[in-house]
Structure 1
């Protein structure tokens, strides 16, 4: 019987010599431009120096629940607001009106907030819409509010201070609306409104100085001129002036000049019969219809 001999085949290893070369890494092709999402760029220069206080997250929608108050262009309140702003700018030249006269239309809206600015995921939008619609059906078709005084209110992030018209009559009804909304906000893991809210309608705002430890390098905030009480006025990187706060005499002066007219029934009293929800750029409004 003839035996077949088998030859052993040997394979070279990395230890056998220096001839082995590493494999070339393949460079992956770059994504096409239409596949790359265009994320919003926070540019304060395009928003009068305002800074986004919460970073943009893809798939999130800013939302806000409020009571709308329509003010006609020729109404006593509209004329009074113009007077207040004119007097305010004498002490705070950097004040920015929410109703610039050059952009004004016949019917303006003041907003009385019932919630914090809220950030929703796409699937939460319908839940909040249903909650606000349900809320509108629980309240009588009309209640009356009136303005009591002017005040200074600062946002939670301490980036802006606001000149506001504070609510007097109607505070109880507004608080009941806000409290009734709280369980719906909690259900979608959103923060409920303040425990002791100061219901108001803002009419103007100014940028506030930001502590250097919380902002950018010191060179970004440049002392420019003297402000009331010796505080230096500063300028943001985009060139917008900031202030530490309103001058102490501003609010007492405005209330002394305009408080009586603001609180009068003819000027500052309004019937409320709607509630609104803004999600992104969409606004939904329901009549109070209990």
Structure 2
């Protein structure tokens, strides 16, 4: 029994010595912060970098904007390129804040001379206009392949077809931030509707909006900002634009001109759009007579076989910055 007691005491003493000799727990050290250059950047929606255009859907990390369309290639020496350039120049005289899509913009120094758009310059390039088959949709990364497969499937099941342009028109985006000058499709409309309808099952499976029930297939070639693009804009009349007084404004006016809208940083670090919401001119809509006058002056030529007729040969899908293309092969 005594030996057992001694052993017990020895064990207790040994535990005490072991406890005294154990080092204190080490303190956890914080990892250093990543330098700014290595941190993932969040895209900044700065209208000053995009001619006053604003993002209609907020940026979401891992989400990709996408849409499906047929390309309309307008070669720089083609009659269609010359016609659209003349139509744009004519429209810009009525709406100075008009921007072209792909077409060369003329400097705003005095009146635009009609013969100036006839000049063939080496820096003028072919223009690719788009005939949309879907609305803009927003995909997660894992959904991109699903949309690509659907577009490839309709391309492989339909043949190329001839189409033609029929008239000029004004169309406004769903968010009412921009209005567009467009040329609408005449022949080929039914085939485009079949292609667009063929994407409905894929869009539904991706929980995206379908295209319009009665679509007006078109190719836009110019645009202007609408009133209300900048909610905090002050009310101003733009005496240089007939459209400013032609139609009552549906929202606050913003028609003052800026001679230098390209500097995104000014006024104590604010972007140009933040420091001056009036930096980009806006309109309530195009003058009511604009589209009518374009059709009167250029409509007949637009419908001429050698001008407005083209072959629809490919279908494209743009996902983020990437474009994927398939030939209408009809296998």
TM-score range, shorter chain: 0.7 to 0.9
Kindly state the Cα deviation for residue 71 of structure 1 after the two structures are TM-superposed: 1.3
Could you give the per-residue CA deviations for residues 102-139 of structure 1, whole angstroms, max 9, x where no partner exists? Answer: 69653221110000011110000011111101110110
1:216 aligned onto 2:231: yes
Contiguous gaps of at least 5 residues in structure 1: 1-25
- Are the aligned partners of 1:49 and 1:238 in contact in 2 as well (CA < 8 Å)? no
- Are the aligned partners of 1:277 and 1:283 in contact in 2 as well (CA < 8 Å)? yes
Task: Report the 3-state secondary structure (helix = DSSP H, G, I; strand = E; otherwise coil) of the residue aligned with 1:79.
Answer: helix
- Alignment size in residue pairs: 259
Alignment of 1:192-207 (within 5 A): 192-207=210-225
Which of 258, 276, 293 is the equivalent residue of 1:253? 293
Distance 2:279 2:215 in 1: 34
RMSD: 2.2
Which of 216, 230, 234 is the equivalent residue of 2:255? 234
> Which is further off, 67-76 or 94-103?
94-103
Could you give the per-residue CA deviations for residues 168-198 of structure 1, whole angstroms, max 9, x where no partner exists? Answer: 1100000000001110111111111001100
Task: Report the 3-state secondary structure (helix = DSSP H, G, I; strand = E; otherwise coil) of the residue aligned with 1:209.
Answer: coil
Relative to the length of structure 2, the TM-score reads 0.74
Alignment of 1:14-163 (within 5 A): 31-32=33-34, 33=36, 36-101=39-104, 105-140=124-159, 142-163=160-181
- Are the aligned partners of 2:254 and 2:278 in contact in 1 as well (CA < 8 Å)? no
Contiguous gaps of at least 5 residues in structure 2: 1-27, 106-121, 247-252, 257-275
CA separation of 1:29/1:238 partners in 2, compared to 1, >3 Å: closer, same or farther?
farther
Distance 2:234 2:53 in 1: 15
Distance 1:104 1:263 in 2: 28
CA separation of 1:288/1:188 partners in 2, compared to 1, >3 Å: closer, same or farther?
same
Distance 2:173 2:102 in 1: 19
> Which is further off, 107-116 or 199-208?
107-116
